[in-house]
A and B are shown apart, each in its own frame.
Chain A
Amino acid sequence: MGALWDPFLDNLFMQRALAAGLLVAIACGIVGTFVVLRGLAFLGDALAHGVLPGIATALVLGASSLAGAAVGAAVMVGGVTLVTRRSRLSADTAIGLLFVGMLALGVVIVSRQASFAGDLTNVLFGEILGTSNGDILVQLVATVGVGLVSALCARAFLLLSISPEQAQVAGFRAGLYHGVMLTLVAVTVVVSFTTVGTLLVFGMLLAPAATGALVARGVATMVGVAVTGGIASVVAGLLVSYHLDLAAGASVVLVTVAIFFTVFAVQALRGGARVSHVGHRH
């Protein structure tokens, strides 16, 4: 049994990775729930990739990568808001092009660096085993903030999930709360990228919440399942990575995605009403 806790007891880097990972799991579980409920998965993906040029520019300039990511996210939120309001194309097309463009721009900027491949890998997949106390502190502040704002806005977010128009008539300004929700996603992505990377943070945002949607009958339960599943994935992923010498961030995300598909498969095999219903109603 020592194999389960010795890695954490014996290694400071594993303790820091665990602390950062748990905070990422909590923030992503809360924000991811609203991303799934509102059907913003693609937009969340775009935001996660949109921070790349900001981080890359910060790398080239020797500035704080966190500040660079924040600028990148702000540009992406602004861009997404603009194209979804003004474009005659479907939002999917506009957001898709925006995020591929930002991804390419990020890679182009990073390619100016001598340590191109290493830097890019760190940005895309994170350095959970290289987490510093400063990273953990930033993540802690962000997770508490995300939790408080989500609790404060929960009713507005729920109404938005049913119908932005009905939310507006009920006195909850749809544009304002949509903006708050996008900001929460952006903040979560920005502070989580050092831990799990811009590519993998999307998995942490989506998979635990999607698992919650499969099994929960209430939004509070869904958040609970998402957070618990995320935490379990972090612990299991880190252990698998430690013992088998695998990439840590990717192992964590792989576990959380595996949990989703396992629950999905079990429900499908049982012929669960919920799964069959989802399949029938488009």
Chain B
Amino acid sequence: MGAVSCRGLAVGYGRDAIVQGLDLDIAPGTWLSVVGTNGSGKSTLLKTLVGLIPPVAGKVTALGAEPGDSPRRTAYLAQSREGGFLLPLRSRDLVRMGRYSVRGLLGRMRPDDDAACRRAMEALDVLDLAHLPLGRLSGGQEQRVHLAQALAREADLIVLDEPTSGLDAASRARYREVIRAECRRGAAVVAATHDVGEAAAADLVLLLAHRVVALGPPSEALTAANLLETFGVVISELPEGLLVMEPTHQHHEIDP
């Protein structure tokens, strides 16, 4: 059974579809990268997959059930979070919150919870920040701690909305290794990004621009024509790969 299955799926708010006609199957152990500009429907699709908003039309199942029906097996990292700097929490406290869905409101935390938190923090290289209050962390460090919280769930479906925003090149490379390891464990990962380089490392790429531009392995989906259609401005080919220019003048280089 697939981790995620969509048939004729339309996602949006209320009756207004942002993206429609999506047929998608994600097998366990697969990394799907959802690529598009701001407002292209990436976050809306992710929220639909975790059950935060109902589909506008079509069918979607996650882990063999309705989205949102398997909280213990689903991890979600939202794009924006509220006033973390005000929270009097240390990094390790935040990561431990990732285990709340496993233990519920009152269940006692066990050694395997601590072990899962430690593994997640080690993987994202934030173990040495464990005792620091959140307010002392840089933006990139805080993002890695939030990622560690999502990974500490050890979920079967991991849905991440722009997980690499604010991360430097070294951290992004580490993130890719971590996601690969999660896939080897058997988890399905769906991650939204507008970093084409990151998408090139995934198993499957879904290009969105208020509609499905392309869906397939990176070698087939990340063509110059598709990227032009997705990002809409200028693409020039360089000897070492593609250079994509977005309206915001961000540059993304990928290997051919």
Q: Do A and B come from one complex?
A: yes
* CB pair A156 B105 closer than 8 Å: yes
* CB pair A278 B86 closer than 8 Å: yes
- Alpha-carbon separation in the docked complex, A45 to B135 (Å): 26
Chain B positions within 8 Å of A218 at CB level: 88-90, 93
Interface SS, B side = mixed
* CB pair A277 B135 closer than 8 Å: yes
Kindly state whether residue A70 has any CB partner on chain B within 8 Å. no
Q: How far is the CB of A268 from chain B (nearest CB, A)?
A: 15
- Alpha-carbon separation in the docked complex, A155 to B105 (Å): 6
Contact of B83 among A39, A170, A221 (CB under 8 A): A39
- Nearest B residue to A155 by beta-carbon distance? B100
Contact of B78 among A37, A165, A221 (CB under 8 A): A165
Kindly state whether residue A120 has any CB partner on chain B within 8 Å. no
Kindly state whether residue B171 has any CB partner on chain A within 8 Å. no
Complex interface bits, B93-107 against A, C-beta within 8 A gives 1, otherwise 0:
110010011001110
Chain A positions within 8 Å of B87 at CB level: 37, 161-162, 219
Chain B positions within 8 Å of A162 at CB level: 81-82, 84, 87, 94, 97
Contact of A161 among B72, B82, B105, B153 (CB under 8 A): B82
- Alpha-carbon separation in the docked complex, A170 to B70 (Å): 9
- Alpha-carbon separation in the docked complex, A262 to B50 (Å): 46
* CB pair A213 B86 closer than 8 Å: yes
- Alpha-carbon separation in the docked complex, A38 to B82 (Å): 8
Kindly state whether residue A15 has any CB partner on chain B within 8 Å. no
- Nearest A residue to B135 by beta-carbon distance? A277
* CB pair B85 A219 closer than 8 Å: no
Q: Given the interface contacts A162-B87, A274-B133, does A169 sit within 8 Å of B74 by beta carbon?
A: yes
Q: Given the interface contacts A162-B81, A169-B68, does A221 sit within 8 Å of B88 by beta carbon?
A: yes
* CB pair B105 A39 closer than 8 Å: no
- Alpha-carbon separation in the docked complex, A38 to B81 (Å): 11
| Contact count band on A | 20 to 34
* CB pair A212 B88 closer than 8 Å: yes
Q: Given the interface contacts A166-B77, A166-B78, does A152 sit within 8 Å of B88 by beta carbon?
A: no
* CB pair A217 B88 closer than 8 Å: yes
Task: Tell me the chain A residues, 60-88 only, with Cβ under 8 Å from chain B.
Answer: none
Chain B positions within 8 Å of A274 at CB level: 133, 135-136
Complex interface bits, A141-161 against B, C-beta within 8 A gives 1, otherwise 0:
000000000001101101101
Q: How far is the CB of B44 from chain A (nearest CB, A)?
A: 12
Chain A positions within 8 Å of B71 at CB level: 169-171
- Nearest B residue to A33 by beta-carbon distance? B88
13 A-B contact pairs sorted by A residue (CB < 8 Å):
A38-B82, A162-B94, A163-B82, A165-B47, A165-B52, A166-B78, A168-B51, A169-B75, A217-B90, A218-B88, A219-B88, A273-B136, A281-B85
Interface of B toward A, CB cutoff 8 Å: 47, 50-52, 68, 71-72, 74-78, 80-90, 93-94, 97, 100-101, 104-106, 133, 135-136, 153, 159
Enumerate the 10 nearest inter-chain pairs by beta-carbon distance, A residue then B residue, closest first: A171-B71, A170-B101, A169-B76, A216-B88, A277-B135, A163-B81, A281-B85, A155-B100, A169-B50, A165-B78
Interface of A toward B, CB cutoff 8 Å: 36-39, 152-153, 155-156, 158-159, 161-163, 165-166, 168-172, 212-213, 216-219, 221-222, 273-274, 277-278, 281
Known contacts A152-B105, A162-B82; can you find 17 more A-B pairs with CB under 8 A? A36-B86, A37-B86, A39-B86, A159-B100, A161-B87, A163-B81, A169-B50, A169-B52, A169-B68, A170-B76, A171-B101, A171-B104, A172-B105, A219-B93, A273-B136, A274-B136, A277-B135
